[in-house]
């Protein structure tokens, strides 16, 4: 993340390069700012989904440890693919779809956690 910020020359504490900054910058600087904004969005998406993934893994792992471990690994690897694809400026962020399998793993883990919690509550 720091490399994108440094290349875009966006100082702390600003979270993103503004629309005005991008529009008035040189083409090279504008491209760096767009890449920085994409990296920030990928990072924010990770921050939004990480707590529920960890919670689902903790609960689902009580009843389905092997399946949860596999799904957790799928989630982790695909989050990296998602972030790299999102920051790839040549595709305009469409590269994030290569890592979209994280979402399937995420929802399956949430379902497994719900089932495990239900079974524990009914026992």
Q: What are the tens digits of pLDDT across the range 26-84?
A: 998 988 898 899 889 989 999 999 999 999 999 999 999 999 999 999 999 999 999 88
> Where residue 92 falls among pLDDT bands split at 50, 70, 90?
low
* Pure H helices in 9-122: 19-24, 27-63, 65-87, 101-122
Which residue, 3, 28, 8, is CA-closest to 84? 3
The tokens describing 85, both together, are 């694809």
Work out the average pLDDT over 88-112: 84
* Phi then psi dihedrals of residue 15, to 5 deg: -80, -35
State the CB neighbour count (10 A cutoff) for residue 57: 20
| pTM of the full structure | 0.84
pLDDT at 97: 82
Length of the chain: 123
């Amino acid at each position: 993340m720091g490399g994108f910020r440094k290349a875009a020359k966006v100082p702390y504490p600003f979270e993103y390069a503004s629309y005005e900054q991008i529009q008035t910058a040189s083409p090279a600087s504008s491209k760096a700012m767009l890449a920085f904004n994409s990296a920030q969005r990928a990072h924010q998406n990770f921050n939004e989904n990480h707590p529920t993934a960890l919670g689902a893994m903790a609960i689902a792992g009580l009843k389905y440890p092997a399946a949860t471990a596999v799904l957790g690994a799928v989630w982790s690897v695909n989050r990296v693919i998602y972030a790299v694809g999102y920051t790839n400026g040549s595709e305009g962020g469409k590269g994030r779809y290569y890592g979209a399998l994280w979402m399937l793993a995420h929802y399956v883990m949430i379902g497994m956690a719900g089932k495990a919690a239900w079974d524990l509550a009914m026992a």
